[in-house]
Amino acid sequence: MNYIDRLATAEDMVSPGISACQGCTAELVFRSSLKILGEKSIIGVPPGCMAGAGGGGWDKKSGVKIPATMPLLDNSASLMAGIKAAYRTIDPEVHSIAFAGDGATADSGLACLSAAAERRDNIIYICYDNEGYMNTGFQKSGTTPRGASTTTTPVGKTGRGKLSFKKDVPMMMAIQDAAYVATLSPSHMNDFVAKMEKAAAIKDGLVYLHILTACPSGWGIKPHQSIEYLRRAVQSRYFLLYEYRDGQFTISGPTKDIKQLKDVSEFVNGQKRFRHLTEGDIAELRDYSNRRWDLLQRLATKLPPA
């Protein structure tokens, strides 16, 4: 069955009436992920966009058809690991899923996530990375890219946006030898569905899925441009698609087989959060992306250091 039929025929586990913003690709990821993982799932959605949009629910009711809870901002991995442990004797096939934003993952929740990977807790941890604390007005997170203007890294007489580069959480999880690590984008749904199905089959440790999600309000783009900007992120190798399993990195087709490589400026240009960047600033992002691409190639082919 191809990925279109897979998504079209799977039961929707999310209410059709949640309150995500127009063009929110985190909502698309939320809905599509649960279509693949199915009704034998329990989900924890910490404070953030998807908790407010329906994952956490309203008036003691949830926006999803499966059991749901709202962890604290920092303990999603620990809570879902505990739930998974409780279900070992009830039904070990139940998926225990954390669905957390980049702030709850790369910042306050990183210690619990790392510990769950160390213990090889068999949970599925999904990070929807819109590169900032969007639910509270777009503050900087660990995955906010260098140069981005946010409410906590403003641009003005002295400020030039975020000074540091994006924290590479999926690579951190791979180096820690999580059972399965993958990066995904809703701009490439065939790759997305295939990786989600692999994640559902992993039984020997933590699954970490890092998904880039465009935020029209935070990025400063129009709602109908969300998928296009995610596609540019992949096609410029700003966002690399790959997998890690059993000590081996594998570069995914949309990243490995790009026919017409885009410059990173095509991802940057048009986003209001980057409109102040100079050619030199963009060159720094380009160099950083190239260094990460070179590193991934060496890891995937096991080449010696340069």
Query: What residues contact residue 113 under an 8 Å CB cut-off, 6+ apart?
Result: 76, 77, 105, 125, 173, 208
Q: What is the pLDDT at residue 157?
A: 86
Nearest-angstrom CA–CA distance, 75 and 73: 6
Residue 40 confidence (pLDDT): 96
With a CB cutoff of 8 Å and minimum separation 6, the contacts of 89 are none
E strand spans, the chain: 41-44, 68-69, 95-101, 124-129, 180-184, 207-212, 242-245, 248-251
Question: Are the beta carbons of 230 and 184 closer than 8 angstroms?
Answer: no
SS3 78: helix
Domains of the chain, with CATH numbers? 7-301 (3.40.50.970)
pLDDT at 44: 95
pLDDT, tens digit, 9 for 90 and up, residues 106-129: 999 999 999 999 999 999 999 999
- Exposed e or buried b for every residue in 5-16, given b needs 16+ CB within 10 A? ebbeebeebbbe
What parts of the chain have a pLDDT lower than 70?
56-60, 303-306
| Region of residue 48 (left: phi > 0; alpha: psi -120 to 50; beta: else) | left
> Which class for 162: exposed (0-12), middle (13-18), buried (19 or more C-beta within 10 A)?
buried
pTM exceeding 0.85? yes
Q: What is the pLDDT of residue 81?
A: 98
What pLDDT score does 16 carry?
84
* The predicted structure's pLDDT at residue 63: 85
DSSP code at position 232: H
Dump pLDDT digits (tens) for 134-183: 999 999 999 999 999 999 999 998 889 999 999 999 999 999 999 999 99
Q: Which pLDDT belongs to residue 19?
A: 82
Query: In this predicted structure, what is the pLDDT of residue 279?
Result: 97
